[in-house]
Amino acid sequence: MKRRTFILSGLAGAATAFAGVQAAGAAVGPAGGVVPALVGTGPYTTVSSLSALQKAIDTAVEGATIILADGTYAVPDGAPIRLDGVGGRWNKHLTITAATVGGVTFTGAQSFVLSGAHHVTLRGFVFTQSTTFEIPADCQAITMSRNEFALADIEGLFHAMVRADDTVVEYNHFHSKSTLGVLLAIEGGGSTDMAQRVHIHHNYFSDHSFAGDNGGEPIRLGVSPRALSSAHAVVEYNLFERTNGDPEAISVKSSDNIVRYNTFRDSGGGIVLRHGNRTRVESNHIIRGERGIRIYGNDHVIVNNYIGDNADTAFVLGAGTVRDHYEGEPSSSRTKNDAADRVRIALNTVVNAAGGISCETHRPITPMDCVIVDNIFQGDAGTQSVVSNSIGFTWAGNMFWGAAPDGDMPATGFTRADPRLAKDAADVWRIGSGSPAVNASTQDHSAWVRDDIDGRQRLVKADAGAHEVSMARPMRGPLRTADVGPLAP
């Protein structure tokens, strides 16, 4: 990959968990491009061999920065680079970095092996190993920053497994897998715990072409036995392109997470809340995708999302083989589908999907007590609503347009009106000032959402759909490749 030299004088603070903006501290390079600034406080040590690197790690003081000279380093079998009990503290990480982003490639079965490490940043490396990169549960506050994960394309191999609390995965590129295996998995210690407060942001996931129908997720946030464990993870500002290894690009199998500001483009996978409760899915763009957002479990909030030119139904509310999962549940039951209850789907825009919203019918337990309000559905294919399999739903303020039939949403839940959408340069259909969607919301959403998909403030009388018409400058939009990955500003 293309490399840029670090500017040692342009230091940046360590990435702060849950920051909603891109990391500060970048400098302008000689050709006008942005150079990622080195994170670290010193002292600085430069090494040029694996033995020297290991010695520098073993003797590092708090806040040290160890710089590995550019080159390809063959890590011997059985002798990985060990991070045993080393680290810094919250504002003085031990930083181990390539001299230039992408300038150091590790070959061999393993690279770094962590045990009891804490407050460590690993930055700028290319990993090609044939075993999973592991961050075990006995570690804490490990930051993986501006790395490239191009692991061996081995059946069943995960690229990275995170089990440690306060892990940050930022500005990395995960790519090029054609076989079964997850690119980035988040779990925890024991059999039911989840790693706490993991922050996944500004990563680029691309080119996963596994042809199976399960087991090739770019991100898997939990697993069935951990479904009721609260993870408090934030997955934001990530770009997914040509991620076709699984119907679930982000598969959530834990509770109390946030999935926001991500972009999915030309990909087979969507956002799936497969297990767990109380996850918020907000202000994501799914553009020319195969799938939209599928929901199981309770008390989720789905707001401000845009789904355009999609080959499948935009929103699917899952029926269940169980009403609710519970603590102490037999493992044979925990993998079953939990019917969607008390889910709020509001202020979303769907354009040219193969269907608008549906409630599953092929399992016996019906979705219940969900709120579907103030969304825009426009399209000529499929059916706007197939929702007769629902109990106690609230329907209001939804806007239907296009040749697709209305379906079976109650007549009080929608109006048929042309929202006057226009496509912008980012391939997104949006309303303008003359749209009947302006100030058309039927509910006060202030308790649920403050801004629209672009970061513009929502008014008390919000516009229907994902966009708020405003003269204010947009704070975000669909992500491009230049916005994410190792060389992003």
Lowest mean pLDDT: which of 2-16, 96-110, 334-348, 398-412? 2-16
Under the banding of pLDDT at 50, 70 and 90, the label for residue 242 is very high
Stretch among 25-29, 77-81, 222-226, 347-351 having the lowest mean pLDDT: 25-29
Distance of alpha carbon 244 from alpha carbon 75, whole angstroms? 32
pLDDT in the model for residue 5: 39
Question: In the numeric block, which tokens belong to residue 464?
Answer: 């229907």
Looking at residue 478, what is its pLDDT?
98
pLDDT score of 29 more than 60: no
**Where do the structural domains in the chain lie, given as residue ranges?**
153-483
Region 81-109 average pLDDT: 97
Q: Specify whether the backbone of 32 is left (phi greater than 0), alpha (psi in -120 to 50) or beta.
A: left
**So what's the pLDDT on residue 332?**
84
Its CATH architecture, for the domain 153-483, is 3 Solenoid (2.160)
Task: Give the phi and the psi of residue 17 in degrees, each rounded to 5.
Answer: -60, 140
